[in-house]
Amino acid sequence: MQIPVQDCHRKCYSPNPMKKIQSALLSVYYKDGLEPIVKLLHQHGVKLYSTGGTQTFIENMGIPVTAVEDLTGYPSIFGGRVKTLHPAVFGGILYRREDEGDLAQAAQFNIPAIDLVVVDLYPFEETVASGASDEDIIEKIDIGGISLIRAGAKNFQDSLIVSSRNQYADILSILTEKGCATELSDRRRYAQEAFATTSHYDTSINQWFTARAAYRPQPPMGELSYAPFGGKGATLRYGENPHQAATFYGDLEAMFDKLHGKELSYNNLVDVDACVALIDEFGTKPTFAIIKHTNACGVASATTAKEAYLTALACDPVSAFGGVVITNTTVDLETAEELNKLFMEILIAPAYEPEALTLLQSKKNRILLRRKNVQLPTKMFKTILNGVLEQDKDLVVEEGDQFKTVTTKAPTESEVKALEFALKVCKHTKSNTIVFANANQLIASGTGQTSRVDALRQAIDKAKAFGFDLQGSAMASDAFFPFADCVEIAHQAGVTAVVQPGGSIRDQDSINYCNEHGLAMVTTGVRHFKH
């Protein structure tokens, strides 16, 4: 059967971020919640492709659907292990609609565009939890589905990927509101969520195989290999406390030139790491951050280094005493004169003017570091119990184009900038955390509290203590609000815009409060816990 190539095979392409869905591939394990989406797609004339049980489900609704077998020319083979793994499917998802070469090849091989991919993976974790046999568990390792998700996510410029049935309600709302079209920000957000889905799925499979791996002798704890650093480390004066021995495995000289001061301690290194991670969020605009016990007590951006430093210091000059200071810009003499008034443990900068360096070296024990341009690891490790935890570093922070406005009132341009700033700081602050900010300055934060409300009240009290008016400020939360009390307290304090991940079963309570009181709220879909 010949599948007609859609009108998207044209010589010219208009990079309109709003894209109408003309075709969709649906391949899901659980069908719950799928029916309204199928009906909506059909109402808008979307051509549907599907496989196996999903195809039968759509046909039973009385809605026309094209079998993937008719698209590929191959039946489902090897007991269903191979259905969608074919260039006609993956080509339709992956080819670039703006690339003339891709368009020509799609037309040559009669590959229709696939604008929407809906996948719900085989329930691997559920099958493991059920106590099923190894054979049954292995058959629940999804191959085609996981590949479809990765393909749809990779080509988010052109395709929308729905990677979990948990997204059905949200995607139905988006498609209903936008007439079965999507914006680039929608597609990018769902791509990000898709890779989170694949990462979790693959990790679950890896954990199952690891648990069944044959016994392999492991080095005793305390005799771990540090091969990347040549197996040698630098003995520190002590660890987190004087009674703890400590060693650093790494190459500090590759990352910093130490221009002045004593050797770095364990706690110094931990704070320096926090400083570097935070300042790297702020690009090239002159920015200063002041860290105390790994949390920011001052962050600000400005047109000059001096202004950025003084604005950062104003956030909390009390906590800044004895802190670690970092900047992404050259320290000039004018800025150094202000910095020299503060007792600080460490100052980190990419460069120093000679006169500035001479002045800053006047304090005997102050550590001055010049940062080099070194690529940092993307993994992090932590010893725990009788083993080691490994995870990817949290290397993403959401920008305004990834915000989803969930309230009637949308944030203003200045509020969006303030929300972006607050979120950058929030990501690098101990959970639970609440951060208040404007477009260029941290106002206050509540850090490391067992209750989000406690973190919020701590931030309000701190802002008041240093004379900050919260009226018109933005608030960021590292995780969702379980109740509406946080937005209520924030509103009473003067906050007008809020960013949070969303995902609470009571999100609507917070949204309703914001709508009733004129607040703007955006969600990101991304949590930034830091324990």
Domain spans of the chain? Answer: 19-212, 218-250, 258-371, 400-523
Confidence grade of residue 251 (pLDDT, cut at 50, 70, 90): confident
504-514: per-residue pLDDT in tens? 999 999 999 99
Find the catalytic residue in 178, 260, 293, 409: 293
Looking at residue 287, the DSSP 8-state letter turns out to be: E
Query: Is it true that domain 400-523 has CATH number 3.40.140.20?
Result: yes
More confident position, 5 or 409: 409
Average pLDDT, integer, range 157-186: 92
- 197-211, 276-290, 383-397: which has the minimum mean pLDDT? 197-211
Average pLDDT, integer, range 164-175: 91
Cα–Cα distance for residue pair 341/344, rounded to 1 Å: 9
3 state SS of 506: coil
Q: What is the pLDDT, as a whole number, of residue 142?
A: 86
3 state SS of 392: strand
Average pLDDT, integer, range 438-466: 96
Contacts of 50 (CB under 8 A, 6+ apart): 25, 26, 27, 58, 65, 66, 67, 68
Confidence grade of residue 213 (pLDDT, cut at 50, 70, 90): low
Same fold flag, 19-212 and 400-523: no
**E strand segments, 308-386:** 323-327, 344-349, 367-371, 379-384
Cβ–Cβ under 8 Å, residues 472 and 494: yes
3 state SS of 215: coil
Q: What is the pLDDT, as a whole number, of residue 272?
A: 97
372 is catalytic: no
Average pLDDT, integer, range 391-403: 91
Q: What is the pLDDT, as a whole number, of residue 406?
A: 97
Task: Note the CATH architecture for domain 258-371.
Answer: 3-Layer(aba) Sandwich (3.40)
Average pLDDT, integer, range 380-399: 89
Q: What is the pLDDT, as a whole number, of residue 5?
A: 45
Q: What is the pLDDT, as a whole number, of residue 8?
A: 41
313-335: per-residue pLDDT in tens? 999 999 999 999 999 999 999 99
pLDDT of 164 strictly over 80: yes
Confidence grade of residue 212 (pLDDT, cut at 50, 70, 90): low
Average pLDDT, integer, range 483-501: 97
Percent of the chain with pLDDT over 90: 63
Average pLDDT, integer, range 66-74: 82
Q: Of 67, 64, 118, 114, which Cα lies nearest the Cα of 87?
A: 114
Would you say the C-alpha torsion 309, 310, 312, 316 has a positive or negative sign? positive
Confidence grade of residue 210 (pLDDT, cut at 50, 70, 90): confident
Cβ–Cβ under 8 Å, residues 24 and 116: yes
Cα–Cα distance for residue pair 397/422, rounded to 1 Å: 11
Q: Of 311, 298, 304, which Cα lies nearest the Cα of 334?
A: 304
Mean pLDDT of the chain: 89
Q: Of 183, 187, 173, 156, which Cα lies nearest the Cα of 40?
A: 173
Q: What is the pLDDT, as a whole number, of residue 227?
A: 47
- 117-126, 340-349, 429-438: which has the minimum mean pLDDT? 117-126
pLDDT of 281 strictly over 80: yes
Q: What is the pLDDT, as a whole number, of residue 238?
A: 85
pLDDT of 231 strictly over 60: no
Quote the pTM value: 0.61
Q: What is the pLDDT, as a whole number, of residue 108?
A: 87
Find the catalytic residue in 86, 154, 178, 260: 154
Average pLDDT, integer, range 441-454: 96
Question: Helix 452-465 vs helix 485-493: angle between axes, to the nearest 10 degrees?
Answer: 10
pLDDT of 160 strictly over 60: yes
293 is catalytic: yes
Q: Which residues of 512-528 are buried (b: 16+ CB within 10 A; e: fewer)?
A: ebbbeeebbbbbbbbbb
Q: What is the CA radius of gyration of the chain?
A: 27
For domain 19-212, the CATH superfamily is Methylglyoxal synthase-like domain (3.40.50.1380)
Q: Of 155, 152, 184, which Cα lies nearest the Cα of 26?
A: 152
Contacts of 244 (CB under 8 A, 6+ apart): 238, 266
Percent of the chain with pLDDT over 70: 93
